[in-house]
């Protein structure tokens, strides 16, 4: 350690870079907390104490995670004054490893969106072109990493909300296997697909952060013990012999010509390395998007029913209790959130649940079975992250259906609970690498292989 700068200087530098908020990535700066923690790190170094694996590393937190004593707004009017009473398990593990949170990051309100425009803090601007959206819902997190405002950020991925903005901003973004990282302290969108994951500029950073956050948590019954992924293991890329891709993703009329040709060129590069590539059959994009949104809207309608101004949020008084509930939710939820709550209550209502919701559950089972069959034939599945490049700011708000369809290539892997990583290679919006459940290590291995291949 050459001690050319202090931890306090590093944190100060990141806070100064974030302060102008040129890309609308900042919901709140954690300057007091960050500088206090930095001073402790400097004291540790001065005293020759043992340092944690992430000691002094500045990171960002999507504003849907609890961090005790900080504002946790979910980028919404309803919670704009809400302060966390406790800290999310994944964030606590990062704090215990010495990492320093510097910012709560802008996102689509309650995770509802694919562009980070559904927010009270202004649309997040793309790191590569500020006229374009930053992607969503973890847009602020991806942009901060891309611009080096944070070393890594913690996003949340329900149907692609880490992977898509990572692709739009040219960085790595991992949705781990469902249950690998505790969801305790993450505001629930759709509980059956919500995943906590890192966005970073290198595979090694993703590996370290994933290891720190992983593990069983008694506060989240879906979690499980997982093996630590070692750096040495990622260097052995010979485990991947066969790679698959979904034909209908590439043959779809929705895909941009450039993304299609770049993806096919990537497939040829993989073949040239002696790896067998197999085309696979999968559900069409409309079926995937319909299944995902049917289930996600149903779950978010249920999860957000607690937000009525009684225990949480910005209460607006009406003439009676019922009217208070109505006006509080009407005035404080975004148009997109209201659209999803209404849609969710519709598919759960009597007369519709059998016809729509149960059909969605059945299709999800078929999707999972399809994946299980695929992974008897191939080790890895590669796919584009998105069918098209980022839209201009404002366009997605005019056409919600187009926004939903932009998730066509990400939602299937969420329904399958599979580990999926966006890498900033292969197409203009990156490439997704997916493996069977609990095979997060294989995903990172193949990413390491691709880094030097394409």
* Polymer length in residues for the chain: 454
Sort 93 into a burial class: Cβ within 10 Å, 0-12 / 13-18 / 19+.
buried
Domain ranges of the chain: 7-233
Mean pLDDT for 22-43 is 98
- The pLDDT confidence band at residue 236, using thresholds 50, 70 and 90, is confident
pLDDT in tens, 341-368: 999 999 999 888 888 999 999 999 999 9
Note if 104 is an active site residue.
no
- HEC secondary structure over 329-387: HHHHCCHHHHHHHHHHHHHHCCCCHHHHHHHHHHHHHHHHHHHHHHHHHCCEEEEECCC
Residue 1's pLDDT is what?
56
Integer Cα distance of 110 and 52 in angstroms: 32
CB 177 within 8 A of CB 213: no
Query: Around Cβ 250, how many Cβ atoms within 10 Å?
Result: 18
Q: What percent of the chain has pLDDT over 90?
A: 85
Mean pLDDT for 105-112 is 97
CB 193 within 8 A of CB 177: no
Integer Cα distance of 96 and 90 in angstroms: 10
Integer Cα distance of 77 and 72 in angstroms: 11
- pTM for this entry: 0.96
Note if 84 is an active site residue.
no
> Is pLDDT above 60 for 19?
yes
State the catalytic residue, choosing from 62, 93, 104, 445. 62
What single string gives the DSSP state of each residue in 161-208? Answer: TTHHHHHHHTSEEEEPPTTSB--TTBPPSSTTT-EEEEEESSHHHHHH
State the catalytic residue, choosing from 75, 115, 137, 153. 137
Integer Cα distance of 248 and 246 in angstroms: 6
The one-character DSSP state at 392 is B
CATH class assigned to 7-233: alpha beta
Query: Around Cβ 181, how many Cβ atoms within 10 Å?
Result: 29
- Supply φ then ψ for residue 275, to 5 degrees: -90, 135
Residue 412's pLDDT is what?
97
> Is pLDDT above 70 for 2?
no
Lowest mean pLDDT among 122-126, 180-184, 331-335: 331-335
State the catalytic residue, choosing from 76, 116, 153, 161. 161
Integer Cα distance of 102 and 148 in angstroms: 12
For residues 239 and 26, the model is more confident at: 26
End-to-end CA, the chain: 34
pLDDT in tens, 249-289: 999 988 999 999 999 999 999 999 999 999 999 999 889 99
pLDDT in tens, 382-441: 999 999 999 999 998 888 878 888 899 999 999 999 999 999 999 999 999 999 999 999
Q: What is the mean pLDDT of the chain?
A: 95
Note if 75 is an active site residue.
no
- Residue among 136, 165, 139, 33 at smallest CA distance from 87: 33
- Which residues have CB under 8 Å from 350's CB, separation 6+? none
Residue 60: its H or E element = strand 58-62
- The pLDDT confidence band at residue 331, using thresholds 50, 70 and 90, is confident
- Residue among 10, 23, 4 at smallest CA distance from 393: 23
- Which residues have CB under 8 Å from 399's CB, separation 6+? none
């Amino acid at each position: 350690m050459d001690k050319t700068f202090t931890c306090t200087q590093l944190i100060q530098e990141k806070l100064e870079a974030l302060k102008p908020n040129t890309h609308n990535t900042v919901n709140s700066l954690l300057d007091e907390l960050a500088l206090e923690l930095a001073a402790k790190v400097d004291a540790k170094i001065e005293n020759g104490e043992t340092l944690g694996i992430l000691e002094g590393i500045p990171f960002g937190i999507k504003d849907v995670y609890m961090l005790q004593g900080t504002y946790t707004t979910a980028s919404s009017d309803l919670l704009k004054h809400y302060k966390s009473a406790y800290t999310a398990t994944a964030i606590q593990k990062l704090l215990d490893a010495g990492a320093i949170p510097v910012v709560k990051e802008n996102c689509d309100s309650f995770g509802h969106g694919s562009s980070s425009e559904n927010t009270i803090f202004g649309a997040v601007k793309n790191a590569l072109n500020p006229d374009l959206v930053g992607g969503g819902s973890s847009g602020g997190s991806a942009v901060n990493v891309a611009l080096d405002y944070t070393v890594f950020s913690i996003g949340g991925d329900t149907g692609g909300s880490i992977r898509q903005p990572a692709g739009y901003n040219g960085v790595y973004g991992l949705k781990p296997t469902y249950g690998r990282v505790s969801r305790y302290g993450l505001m629930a969108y759709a509980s059956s697909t919500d995943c906590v994951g890192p966005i970073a500029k290198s595979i090694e950073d993703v590996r370290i952060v994933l290891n720190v956050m992983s593990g069983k948590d008694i506060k989240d019954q879906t979690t499980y013990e997982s093996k630590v992924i070692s750096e040495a293991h990622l260097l052995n890329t010979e485990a991947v012999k066969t790679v698959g891709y979904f034909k209908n993703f590439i043959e779809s009329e929705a895909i941009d010509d450039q993304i299609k040709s770049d993806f096919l060129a990537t497939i040829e590069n993989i073949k040239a390395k002696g790896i067998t590539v197999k085309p696979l059959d999968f559900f069409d994009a409309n079926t995937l998007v319909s299944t995902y949104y049917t289930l996600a809207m149903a779950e978010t309608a249920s999860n957000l029913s607690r937000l009525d101004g009684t225990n949480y949020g910005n209460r607006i008084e009406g003439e009676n209790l019922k009217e208070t509930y109505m006006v509080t939710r009407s005035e404080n939820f975004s148009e997109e959130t209201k659209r999803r709550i209404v849609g969710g209550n519709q598919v759960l209502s009597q007369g519709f649940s059998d016809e729509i919701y149960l059909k969605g559950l059945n299709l999800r089972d078929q999707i999972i079975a399809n994946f299980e069959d695929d992974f008897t034939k191939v080790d890895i599945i590669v796919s584009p992250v998105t069918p098209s490049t980022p839209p201009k700011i404002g366009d997605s708000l005019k056409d919600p259906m187009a926004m939903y369809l932009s998730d066509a290539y990400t939602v299937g892997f969420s329904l399958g609970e599979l580990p999926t990583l966006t890498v900033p290679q292969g197409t203009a919006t990156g490439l997704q690498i997916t493996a069977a459940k609990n095979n997060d290590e294989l995903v990172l291995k193949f990413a390491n292989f691709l880094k030097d291949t394409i």
